[in-house]
Amino acid sequence: MSRSGLPAPARRDDPRAWETVRERLRDRGLRWTPQRRALVAVLAETEGHVTGAELVERCRQRDPATIPSTVYRTLDVLEELGIVRHGHGPNGREEYHVLPDAVHGHLHCKACGASWEISTDEAAGVVASLEAGRGFEVDISHVTIVGRCRACRG
């Protein structure tokens, strides 16, 4: 269990990450519908970050009957299973990271638009300061720090 209260992310190099999704969804009381099959197939082909709207569109290319609420409900369960993690980009939009290697936050340059992942170790000082000073426990997976990168500052 990670600090965010969610299970540790599934490992990208674990071949069972996708093989067991059907059974794990059924264990949660969800039927294995064509829409859920489409979502799992789309996710299996996706690396990195993707928005929910992009996932809905990709699923509709496979199954035009895809309903956004089914996609989002299924994503919620897949997050509980460690298959995806959601966070928020610099503009506040919800993004999903498929099979993240670890829980992480993001840096975003407002000048050039580049983004980088920051590990829990890199964020440890800020997290510890907020916890010590305010008693606030940070979920780093929801942290996006916006500023200016070294190249744009120079």
pLDDT in tens, the chain (154 residues): 444 444 444 544 555 678 889 999 999 998 999 999 999 999 999 988 899 999 999 999 999 999 999 999 999 999 988 889 888 877 778 889 888 778 888 899 999 999 898 999 999 999 999 999 999 999 888 888 999 999 999 8
Does the predicted TM-score (pTM) go above 0.85? Answer: no
- Is the domain of 110 the same as that of 53? no
- Is the domain of 32 the same as that of 92? yes
Residue 121's φ and ψ, nearest 5 degrees, are -65, -45
Q: Answer whether residue 127 is part of any domain.
A: yes
Give the end of a domain, one of 98, 123, 145. 98
Give the end of a domain, one of 98, 120, 143. 98
pLDDT attached to residue 15: 56
- Is the domain of 56 the same as that of 130? no
- Is the domain of 48 the same as that of 75? yes
Residues in Cβ contact with 55 at an 8 Å cutoff, skipping those fewer than 6 apart: 39, 42, 43, 46, 71, 75, 96
CB atoms within 10 A of CB 130: 13
Give the end of a domain, one of 98, 115, 131. 98
Vertex 81: Cα angle to 75 and 82 (nearest 5): 90
Look at the chain and report how many structural domains it folds into. Answer: 2
pLDDT attached to residue 49: 86
56-66 core/surface letters (b: 16 or more CB in 10 A; e: else): bebbbeebeeb
pLDDT attached to residue 100: 78
Q: Answer whether residue 8 is part of any domain.
A: no
85-99 core/surface letters (b: 16 or more CB in 10 A; e: else): bbbeebeeeebbbbb
Q: Answer whether residue 3 is part of any domain.
A: no
Q: Answer whether residue 53 is part of any domain.
A: yes
Q: What is the CATH number of the domain that holds 31?
A: 1.10.10.10
pLDDT attached to residue 3: 42
Q: What is the CATH number of the domain that holds 140?
A: 3.30.1490.190
Q: Answer whether residue 130 is part of any domain.
A: yes
- Is the domain of 24 the same as that of 48? yes
**Domain that residue 50 falls in:** 16-98
C-alpha 50/C-alpha 151 separation (Å) is 26
